[in-house]
Amino acid sequence: MCRHWNQVRRLTGRVVRGLIVTRAMSSGLTGVEAGKRAAARAAVDNHIKTGQAVGIGSGSTIVFAVERIAERVKSENLQLRCVPTSFQAKQLIQDNNLTLSSLETCPKLDVAIDGADEVDSQLNCIKGGGGCLTQEKIVASCAEEFIIIADYRKDTGALGTYWTKGIPIEVIPMAYKPIQIRVASELGGKADLRMANRKAGPVVTDNGNFILDWVAPTKTENWEFVNQQIKIIPGVLETGLFIKMARIAYFGNEDGSISTRSPPWLQSAGDR
């Protein structure tokens, strides 16, 4: 793992306050969208190579990553197998004429690239704003390298600073009410059933389940404990807390620069 950190240090530029910063080529986009594109393209260029099995995440930033993968497949004749984390990711893979695969045929992935709703200083993430948290976490757990791509807004010192909508929890529909009560009783705060915008009723995931969004009563740093406490409740399928999973994160800035962060423990390992 420290090998990947050192490789990225060589490829991406100078270190500034624990971040690696580099300048991306102009894309014609501005603001947040330019940042998303810059982060996505840098991650693809630094980590994707021929012969790999690649996990493809979900969300708006992933669109730019798949676009870049498709460009490189066409220009470099890369041989890749792409495993989606959602129906959206599957469509992106097919629309860009990439080779669609699955965990059944590729249970071990070389790399998985995905977005995030928020990332803290330890590279712990909140994911699930788009409702794909369970499949995203499964795919990420199967990858040797899990890489986060996001715009600069998602890079915060503590979870819950930017993403204030709560921690997504995917639950079995019949159990959502008991889970709401138990989460509030044991951890405080409130877990709201996520309602759909363009249909009557709750959001239904690709797995046919509901999502609760739990807002903690106070900020905490012990997210690993919180994650474990929620997951042991019967009826909970998965949480949107990705704890100690990401190996590197690319954050795209409005000016086209890219901040690259590795977890502190991985940096320390690389220095020894």
The residues assigned a catalytic role are 136
Answer yes or no: are the C-beta atoms of 146 and 197 closer than 8 Å.
Answer: no
Q: Exposed, middle or buried, 77 (CB in 10 Å: 0-12/13-18/19+)? A: exposed
Find residue 83's DSSP bridge partners. Answer: 55
Distance (Å) of CA 156 to CA 40, 88, 167, 267: 19, 27, 15, 18
CA of residue 1 relative to chain centroid, distance? 19
Spell out the residues 6+ positions from residue 148 whose beta carbon is closer than 8 angstroms to its own. 114, 115, 116, 119, 123, 125, 246, 248, 249, 250
Q: Exposed, middle or buried, 189 (CB in 10 Å: 0-12/13-18/19+)? A: middle
Instruction: Mark residue 196 as left, alpha or beta (left: phi above 0; alpha: psi -120 to 50; beta: remaining).
Output: beta
Answer yes or no: are the C-beta atoms of 127 and 71 closer than 8 Å.
Answer: no
CA of residue 164 relative to chain centroid, distance? 17
Spell out the residues 6+ positions from residue 12 whose beta carbon is closer than 8 angstroms to its own. 20, 21, 22, 42, 46, 258, 260
The position carrying tokens 């969300």 is 59
Spell out the residues 6+ positions from residue 164 whose beta carbon is closer than 8 angstroms to its own. 215
